[in-house]
């Protein structure tokens, strides 16, 4: 008989997570809430569990991973656009399909029954990182990914709550973890890659336009407080890039570029300094709407180009995130610090602005933005 447990009212939610792990290890099925709908899951290494999942799956099945980084274990030469989608949309309502030729031996190490179920009659395997703490916690404790039912398919009814899940999957599911109605209650968007090319297979929560934006190039300029140097760098880079692309500043996102700034010691919502606003007014650039933001791990992960004002800024980031070394650089190609005008005169701000612009023009040449 299927057991339904409300995880938030449990005496200790960790007991629910450990119970789910035990059932999966025993070859049972567990139904989890996600941001889109409830899905049934089996351990990828359990042939018994995979066969049970086959009996309740009315559509395609998906390999559920615990993090975007784990995708590289299965798709080592991941297309650039796929890497961007994984970094920016996962965990979240996106499924990415890869041709089997893109997968490496780790996929081949899964049991044959698991590989057959994931492939079905297709030549591609679907990957997803669901955005719900219950399934993510279980995955952190599991020796391998989970195989889960898809939330889309022909005539597939989406399970939006635990009762729906219990009715849909029946007694083949030993446990339903109940966390109330799903956040969205709509299916994931599915994108399929063939080499570097991708197609929208199914539009769900993420629109086609937002997929285009998610694969854009993101430039993140970083200083200390995000009120002087990095806001000026962000605004000047945006303006010069728009001029090179011969488009208005506000169309850069539609042309595949996003430009941001943040500060290592920044608060949230501070305005740009009055001197920075005044200096850029002469360029026809309005900094009055700028609001500071702190550097976060998510911002760094999402950015393709992290551009720091000083050597110290770069080193602080790389000390904590050495894996980002290939994406973090100083604004100055000569590795010269951009002087901090904070608290200085207008002349110092003008000098800083000229220094930043000189480096930005070189940066645009280096990246071939024309």
Give yes or no for a contact between 199 and 191, defined as CB atoms under 8 angstroms apart. yes
52 closest CA partner among 158, 146, 153: 146
Dihedral (CA of 44, 48, 53, 55) sign: positive
- Catalytic residue, chosen from 223, 238, 239, 352, is 223
Under a CB-based contact definition with an 8 Å cutoff, are residues 5 and 15 in contact? no
Q: Phi and psi for 63 in degrees, rounded to 5?
A: -90, 110
Query: Which one of the listed residues 83, 304, 337, 340 is annotated catalytic?
Result: 340
* Cis upstream peptide for 258 (omega within 30°): no
Do residues 141 and 134 make contact, with C-beta atoms less than 8 angstroms apart?
no
Indicate the SS3 state at residue 177. strand
Cα(138)–Cα(159) distance, integer angstroms = 20
Contact between 293 and 268 (Cβ < 8 Å): yes
223 is catalytic: yes
Tell which residue, 10, 31, 47, 24, has the closest CA to residue 171. Answer: 31
- Is 229 a residue of the active site? yes
CA angle 311, 313, 315 (to 5 degrees): 70
d(CA 189, CA 187): 7
Beta carbons of 29 and 41 less than 8 angstroms apart = yes
Nearest CA to 369 out of 280, 268, 246, 262 is that of 246
Other Cβ atoms closer than 10 A to 354: 11
Catalytic residue among 87, 128, 152, 229: 229
- Please give the positions annotated as active site: 223, 229, 340
């Amino acid at each position: 008989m299927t057991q339904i447990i409300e995880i938030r009212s449990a005496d200790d939610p960790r007991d629910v997570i450990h119970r789910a792990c035990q059932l999966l290890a025993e070859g049972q099925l567990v139904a989890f809430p996600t941001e889109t709908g409830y899905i049934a899951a089996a351990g990828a290494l359990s042939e018994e569990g995979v066969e049970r999942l086959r009996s309740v799956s009315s559509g395609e099945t998906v390999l559920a991973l615990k993090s975007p980084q784990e995708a590289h274990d299965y798709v080592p030469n991941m297309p650039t656009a796929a890497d961007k989608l994984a970094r920016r949309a996962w965990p979240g309502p996106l499924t990415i399909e890869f041709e089997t030729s893109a997968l490496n031996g780790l996929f081949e190490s899964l049991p044959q029954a698991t590989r057959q179920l994931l492939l079905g009659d297709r030549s591609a395997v679907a990957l997803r990182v669901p955005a719900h703490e219950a399934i993510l916690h279980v995955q952190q404790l599991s020796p391998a990914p989970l195989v889960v039912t898809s939330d889309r398919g022909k005539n597939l009814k989406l399970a939006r709550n635990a009762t729906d899940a219990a009715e849909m999957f029946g007694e083949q599911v030993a446990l339903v973890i109940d966390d109330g109605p799903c956040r969205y209650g709509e299916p994931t968007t599915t994108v399929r890659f063939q080499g570097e090319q991708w197609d929208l297979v199914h539009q769900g929560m993420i629109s086609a336009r937002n997929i285009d934006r998610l694969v854009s190039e993101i430039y993140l300029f970083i200083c200390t407080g995000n009120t002087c140097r990095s806001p000026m760098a962000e605004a000047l880079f945006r303006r010069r890039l728009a001029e090179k692309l011969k488009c208005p500043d506000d169309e850069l996102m539609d042309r595949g570029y996003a430009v941001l700034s943040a500060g290592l010691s920044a608060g949230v919502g501070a305005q740009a300094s009055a001197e920075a606003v005044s200096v850029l007014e002469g360029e026809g650039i309005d900094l009055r709407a700028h609001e500071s933001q702190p550097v976060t791990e998510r911002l760094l992960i999402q950015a393709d180009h992290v551009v720091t004002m000083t050597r110290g800024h770069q080193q602080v980031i790389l000390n904590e995130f050495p894996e980002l070394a290939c994406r973090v650089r100083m604004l100055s190609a000569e590795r010269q610090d951009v002087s901090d005008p904070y608290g200085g005169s207008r002349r110092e701000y003008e000098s800083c602005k000229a220094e930043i612009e000189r480096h930005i023009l070189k940066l645009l040449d280096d990246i071939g933005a024309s």
